[in-house]
Structure 1
Amino acid sequence: MQAQDDLLQSAKAEYNESGWFRLPSRFEEVGIKKLRESVESISRQKRPEVVHETDGKTVRALHGCHLFDETCARLVRLPMLVGLAEALIGEPVYVYQFKVNLKQPHEGAAWPWHQDFAFWKNEDGMTAPSAVNIALFLDDTHEANGPLQVLPGSHRLGLIESDSDEQRERSGDWRNHVASDLEYTVPQAEVDALTRKTPKQLAVGPAGTIYAFHPSIVHSSSDNRSADRRALLLITYNAVSNAPASSPRPEFLVSRDTSRVTPVEDDVL
C-alpha cells in the first residue's frame, strides 16, 4: 500500500510539472489480447462510433466503446486506472470520453498539433481542464508508426489560440473533431517557439505501456510510415464537479453519465 501511495505521489508531481507521466508497470498481456479482440470486432461493424480515414474504408478511430463492449466497460472501472485518475485530478471522476485511435500500416494519417481542452471547452462547455487522459498501448509503438508526441510543460500555458480563432465560426460538425484536419489546432509558429525551449518527446514502448497526459498539453502524432499498426486506447476521466451542463455532440463522444466511477474488485479484465 505504501509503495502504491509513493507511486501516485511521484506520478502527480511529474504530471503537474511536465503534463504527462509514464507508469513504471505495464498492463497484463491477457487483457491486451482481449482489448485487441474487441477492437477488431468493433472495426468490422457499421456504426457511427467507427470513424474512417478520408478514403472511407480505412478505420481511423473507435469511440464510446465502453458503452456497448463488455471488455471496454470493465476496463474503465479497473482500480489501477480509476485510482490513478483520481490521484492526478484530486477529485472523484467519471468517464468523459473513450476512444481507440488506430494508425493502420502505411495508411494511418497524422494528428496535427492541438490541445484537447480546446475542443472540450469550446464544444462541450467544460469549465476547467480538471480531467486526465489515460493512454494504453494496444500495439508496440515506435518512432516510425506514428507515436504520440508531446511538448512537456506546455499545459501550464493554458489554451493557445491562433490569430484567426476569434473570427472563425465553428462548424458544429463533430466529424471535424476526429478527422486528420482538426478544427482546433496550435499554430506551427507557436509549436516551433515551444520546441526551441523544450524539445518534443515521443510516447513509445511495448504493448501494455500506460501514459497519463494533461488536457492542455500540446501534442500531435505523425503518419504511420511502417508496416506495424499503432493502436492507442484513450480513456478521459473528468472530475465529477467539472462535468459540462450539456453538449451538442453525440453521447459516444461525450458521456452523459457523470456519476462517479465505481471500481470493480480487481485489475483483471
Structure 2
Amino acid sequence: MVLTRTRVQDSYPTRVRGEAEPFERVHPAVWGQEHDGPCDAATLASHEANGFTIVDGLLSPAEVQGYWQELTRLSRDERLSDDERVITEKYSGEIRSVFEVHELSELIAELASDPRVLDRARQILGSEVYLHQSRVNYMPGFEGKGFYWHSDFETWHAEDGMPVPRAVSCSIALTDNYPFNGGLMLMPGSHRTFVPCVGETPEHHYQDSLREQEIGVPSKHQITKMAAEHGIEQFTGAAGSALWFDCNVMHGSGNNITPYPRSNIFLVFNSVENTLVEPFAADQPRPTFIANRDFVPITR
C-alpha cells in the first residue's frame, strides 16, 4: 500500500465549522465519448444531466440466481463472523454489508471485469479504472435499515483522499426493487452541486458511520432545498437491473418494513487518473477494505 502524502489543492472543502454554502461542481460527470463504450450519445447526455443511468436486464435471471446463492453463502460463512469487513446492523446484529467482497468471492471479482460492467465504467470515466470499493448490501424484510441522504464523494474526499469526483458506482439488484421495500432514492441533477458538511471527522469514524452515518451528511435545511430544486426519483425494477450513479449525486434509502428483502452488489470504479491521496478532512485514511489503495487497472 502506498499512501501519497503530498497535499494537493482541495477543490471541495468539507467537514467545516459553522455554516457552509453549497457550490457548483467544477468537474464533469461523463469524461468519455460515445465511441469509447456501449452507451450512446443520448445516454451519456442524460447521465451528465441527471447523474445516473438505469440499465434494465444487465444480468439474466440465471445469473441473478447464481449471485443470490453467493450472497447466501457469504452470509452463512462462519469464517467471516469476526471479520471486520462484515458490517452488522446497529441494533439487530443482522448483516448489513460485506466489504471488499471481490476478495472473498471469485464470482463477484469476475463481475467487476465483465465487459457489460467494465466497459461502461471506462466510458463514463474516460480512462482505465480500478475498484475503489466493493460490497454486497443486505436489506432483509421487516428489519432492513436505510441509508440517510448523503453524497458518497463527500466521504470519499474527506476520509479517503479522493481528489475530485471522477468515480462512478454500479448497484446491481439481486432482488426486485419495489417503491415500498427501501429502494434507493436519488435527486436527479444534484450531482452538479457539492454540499460541504459541518463537523470534524471523529477518529475511526468508519466504525460507526458504516452502520449509521451522522457526520458527513447534509443538514435538513440543505436536503429540503435540494429536494425542492431537483425532486426525488427512485430506483425500482426487476432483479438483474443496474443503477449507475455519479459519486456526488445525493441519495438515500428508507427502512424496509415489508416482507420483501432487497439485496444488491455494489461496485465503485475510480479513474486511475484520480487515485487517492492523503485524506482531506480526517487524521488518517480509512482501512483499505473500504477504500482500496491498489490502483492497478482492471482488465478483462
- Normalised to the residue count of structure 1, the TM-score between the two structures is 0.90
Q: 2:165 aligns with which of 129, 132, 146?
A: 129
Query: Distance between the aligned counterparts of 2:153 and 2:38, measured in 1?
Result: 29
User: SS state of the match for residue 82, structure 1?
Assistant: helix
Shift, 1:56, TM fit: 5.0
**Which residue does the alignment assign to 2:67?**
35
Secondary structure of the residue aligned to 2:41 is: helix
Residue 93 of structure 1, aligned match among 129, 132, 140: 129
State how 1:132-211 maps to structure 2 within 5 Å: 132-158=168-194, 160-162=195-197, 165=198, 167-211=199-243
The structure-2 alpha-carbon separation of the partners of 1:57 and 1:5, relative to structure 1 and needing over 3 Å to count, comes to closer
Please report how far the alpha carbon of residue 3 of structure 1 lies from its aligned counterpart in structure 2 after TM superposition. Answer: 10
- Give deviations 1:96-123, integer Å, cap 9, x for gaps: 1001121111101111000000111011
Which of 201, 219, 222 is residue 251 of structure 2 equivalent to?
219
Aligned residue number for residue 296 of structure 2: 259
State which of 248, 256, 260 in structure 1 corresponds to 2:285. Answer: 248
**What code does the residue aligned with 1:178 have?**
L
Q: Does 1:72 align with 2:104?
A: no
Tell me the percent identity. Answer: 24
CA RMSD of aligned residues (A): 1.9
Residue by residue, what CA displacement relative to the aligned partner does 1:68-110 show, whole Å, maximum 9, x if unpaired?
A: 2111111111011110011111111011100112111110111
Alignment check: 8 A CA contact 2:132 2:291 kept = yes
Structure 1 residues not aligned, in runs of 5+: 264-269
| CA-to-aligned-CA distance 1:113-141 (integer Å, 9 cap, x gap) | 00000111011111001010011001001
Q: Structure 1 residues 70, 198: CA separation in 2 closer, same or farther (over 3 Å shift)?
A: same
**One-letter identity of the residue aligned with 2:175:** D
Q: Which residue of 1 aligns with 2:19?
A: none
Q: How many angstroms does 1:145 deviate by?
A: 0.8
What TM-score comes out, normalization by structure 2 length? Answer: 0.81
Q: 1:44 aligns with which of 73, 76, 83?
A: 76
Q: Counterpart of 2:295 in 1: which secondary structure? A: coil
Code of the aligned partner of 2:234: L
Runs of 4+ in 1 over 6 A off after TM superposition: none
In 2: Cα distance, 1:225 partner to 1:57 partner: 16
Give the Cα separation in 1 of the matches to 2:124 and 2:189: 16
Q: Which has the higher helix share?
A: 1
One-letter amino acid of the structure 2 residue matched with residue 49 of structure 1 = R
Relative to 1, partners in 2 of residues 1:5 and 1:82: Cα closer, same or farther, differing over 3 Å?
A: closer
Amino acid paired to 1:38: E
Distance in 1 (alpha carbons) for counterparts of 2:291 and 2:36: 31
Corresponding position: 1:84 with 2:116: no
Structure 2: stretches of 5+ with no match in the other structure: 1-33, 279-283
Q: Aligned partners of 2:243, 2:184: CA distance in 1, in Å? A: 10
Aligned length, in residue pairs: 258
Farther off after superposition, 45-54 or 127-136: 45-54
Cα deviation, residue 260, structure 1: 0.9
Inter-partner Cα distance in structure 2 for 1:6 and 1:132:
16
